[in-house]
Structures are given as C-alpha cells and as structure tokens.
Amino acid sequence: MPDGDSRDLYAILGVPRSASQEEIKKAYRKLVRKHHPDANPGDSESEARFKSINLAYEILQDPQKRARYDQFGTIGDAPPGGGPFGGGFEPFGDIFGDLFGSVFGGGRREARGPLRGQDLEMTIRISLEEAFRGIGREISIPRLEKCDRCGGSGAEPGTEVKSCPYCGGSGQVEREQRTPFGTFVSVGQCSECGGSGKKIESGCRNCGASGKVRAKHRVDVKIPPGVDTGTRLRVAGEGGEGSDGGPPGDLFLAIKVESHPSFERDRDDLHTRVILKYPQAVLGGSVEVASIEGTEKVEISPGTQGGKAIRIKGKGMPRLKGSGRGDLYAHVVIDVPQSLTERERALMEGLAREMDVEVQSAGLIDRIRQIFS
C-alpha cells in the first residue's frame, strides 16, 4: 500500500468506524488466520490481502495513528513533498479538502476535479416590433450562487472543515469485489460526503451546509434583429457557477415572439391586409399599407381582385443570418359597404342598370332607415 493511499482501513478489517481497540484486534486476528499465506499457498491474491490487513491493523491499533487517519483519511506518514505541511505546499492556503486531496489523494483527486457549471435555459417573450429592431434586456435568472456567509464551504464561519475521513478527501471510494475471475476494484462516489471530500462539523446557517444559495443573477442580454420563435441564443458564461474552480455554464435564451394583431410572419416575410374600396379595386389608385416600421405607399393597378397579394420588396423582417430583409405581402380585401348614403345607393343602382345586373331595390322603410342611421 503506497503512501497517500486512501483505502478504507476499517473496511479492510471489516469493522465499523466506532470499533473499540479490542474489536479491531479481534477482527485482525480472525482475518490473519484466514488470509495467512501459509494457509493459502500459491494464492497471490490472498498474499496481497494479507499485507493490506497487516497495514490496516498497524495504523488502527495505534491510537495516535488511528486518530490521524480518522482526521485525514490517509496513511501518509511520508507523502510526496515531505509531509502534510512540509515541502512546497502552502499551509492552509486552500480549503482543507483541496489541500489534503492533492497531498494525499494521488491521482484520484483529478477524477472529481473542477466541475463546469450547469447550462441554464430561459424563455424570453418579445413583441414582433422588438424582434424587428432587436433589443437589449436585463433579465434576472434564478440560480445557485456561492453562499456569502460561508464562502461556499458550507461550514458555519469559525468551525472547521475537515477532509472526509471515509474517503480521505478524494470524494471517491474503492470497492473491491472478488469474483471467480479475479478481484475487481471499482471506484464510486463516497456516500459519506456525497463526493465533496469534505466533512463539515457545523453546517452554515445561511445555506444549510450546501455552500450555495438561491439568488437572482442579473444579466444584460442583447437580442439581435431578426430573431423568431424557436431561435436559441447562447450567452456564454452566464449559466450556473462552476464548483471547485470550474468554469460557469452557459445561458440559453429560447425566444418566443408574440403574435401581432396586424402582421403574420413567415420566416423573414410579413403578411398583412390592405382594404380597398370597391372603386379603388376597379379603377386602381394609390393606397397606404401599414408596415412594421410605419406606412408604405402602394400603387394599386386597375382591376385588382380580392385576395391578390401585393409584394412590397424588402419591407419584411431583417434576416438573422445573412443580410437584407424579407418582403411584406399586402393581401387585398375588397370592402363591401354595409350601409350607403342615399346618393351612393342611387349611384349604385345606376351602375347596376348600366351593367345590366338585377339588384334588389330598397323599399321605402329601408330608405328611411338608411337616412336615419
């Protein structure tokens, strides 16, 4: 067993962490009888196990060594660097878990390592006009942030954070599994500390020992012109905070453009309606069509049919990818008047006679109603 090993000595001897010296001795004697190389000639596995048992016993039978192991979770009498506080390590320069993790934990510490923060996604609702112009918006994102009270350690200020004695601060434990094909060692998250490698004596009152608190994180985001429902924008580095020095995650904005009373959108094109009076449709003329940015003057050719789409080039939405703009389509609706002045009615009836179409002439009561309406 090399220095810096953080295998669970209690597990090797098969005793609980609370075992008395007497129980440890008893367990050791039993195991030694079972795994002694003399009792298992030629079994190299048994030999290795026998060595582990001896080493575990050597540490745990000595109250001083045991206490040290309980505290730091490792055996390191002479770890690389010349001792826990010798060599080039800055004493207490970092939280305990990291310091001891790197001193004792060997390469295993890296497997946990700094963790990148979570990616967050948020739906942003904007109007069609905002999608047209593009907007800057301050949004507030609920996320977990480092607790101010404990600085993220999870420990109540003034209390100690120790290396998890179960895993030795590595956050991971090895489990040996003996099978007919050999002994397999699997590495799993330490259940004692949940993989943090730390043992908190007294949890922080503000964050409940988690080291993180729910906070509203404010971010100014820029939403470019041309976004549409379904557009996903990435705001780098504004996601959840990383842990153990890891980088933050990203924030994704899922855009939802609200429907508009006057315009329908089809990718970069906009569609609207233009209402023509009967004579305008028949004789042609110039009308104003509402666009997303104001009004456009459009020439109507004589004999324009209802339902015709008049294309107004370049007056649609800006293209999010690429340059330029889509088109605006004005769909013609012929306005059929629902009430007429007496003179209009007379003219219409004259027109009907001229065109030789049979129309319903208004009765006297209808005419009176027309006059007083």
Phi-psi region of 348 (alpha: psi -120 to 50; beta: other; left: phi over 0): alpha
Residue nearer to Zn ion on the CB measure, 197 or 326? 197
- Of 95, 207, 257, 287, the residue at the interface with Zn ion (CB under 5 A) is 207
Q: Which of 334, 329, 202 is nearest to 277 (CA)?
A: 334
Say if CB 337 and CB 344 are below 8 A apart: yes
Residue nearer to Zn ion on the CB measure, 52 or 74? 74
- Of 206, 229, 231, 370, the residue at the interface with Zn ion (CB under 5 A) is 206
* 149 touching Zn ion, by CB under 5 A: yes
Residues near 114 by Cβ (< 8 Å), separated by ≥ 6? 242, 243, 244, 245, 246, 247
* 144 touching Zn ion, by CB under 5 A: no
Residue nearer to Zn ion on the CB measure, 204 or 227? 204
Alpha carbon distances (Å) from 338 to 134, 341, 373:
42, 10, 12
CB of 93: closest distance to Zn ion in angstroms? 21
Residue nearer to Zn ion on the CB measure, 132 or 166? 166
CB of 60: closest distance to Zn ion in angstroms? 18
- Report residue 198 as tokens: 């730390």
* 161 touching Zn ion, by CB under 5 A: no
CB of 63: closest distance to Zn ion in angstroms? 23
Say if CB 201 and CB 162 are below 8 A apart: yes
* 164 touching Zn ion, by CB under 5 A: yes
Residue nearer to Zn ion on the CB measure, 192 or 238? 192
The window from 33-41, 201-209, 274-282, 311-319 that contacts Zn ion (CB under 5 A) reads: 201-209
* 150 touching Zn ion, by CB under 5 A: yes
- Of 15, 75, 167, 251, the residue at the interface with Zn ion (CB under 5 A) is 167
Residue nearer to Zn ion on the CB measure, 156 or 238? 156
Residue nearer to Zn ion on the CB measure, 102 or 206? 206
Say if CB 204 and CB 154 are below 8 A apart: yes
Q: Percentages helix, strand, coil for the chain, rounded to the nearest 5? A: 25, 30, 45
* Secondary structure (3-state) at 265: strand
User: What mask, x for binding Zn ion by CB under 5 A, covers residues 31 to 50?
Assistant: --------------------
Interatomic CA distance for residues 221 and 300, integer angstroms: 43
CB of 210: closest distance to Zn ion in angstroms? 7
Interatomic CA distance for residues 152 and 150, integer angstroms: 5
The window from 53-61, 206-214, 239-247, 303-311 that contacts Zn ion (CB under 5 A) reads: 206-214
- Of 31, 75, 95, 204, the residue at the interface with Zn ion (CB under 5 A) is 204
Residue nearer to Zn ion on the CB measure, 79 or 169? 169
Interatomic CA distance for residues 337 and 284, integer angstroms: 18
CB of 227: closest distance to Zn ion in angstroms? 39
* 200 touching Zn ion, by CB under 5 A: no
* Secondary structure (3-state) at 220: strand
* 95 touching Zn ion, by CB under 5 A: no
* Secondary structure (3-state) at 110: helix
CB of 42: closest distance to Zn ion in angstroms? 37
- Count of alpha carbons within 13 Å of 301, Cβ hemisphere only? 6
Region 171-190 residues binding Zn ion, contact defined as CB under 5 A = 190
Q: Which of 116, 111, 71 is nearest to 195 (CA)?
A: 111
The residues binding Zn ion (CB under 5 A) are 147, 149-150, 164, 166-167, 190, 192-193, 204, 206-207
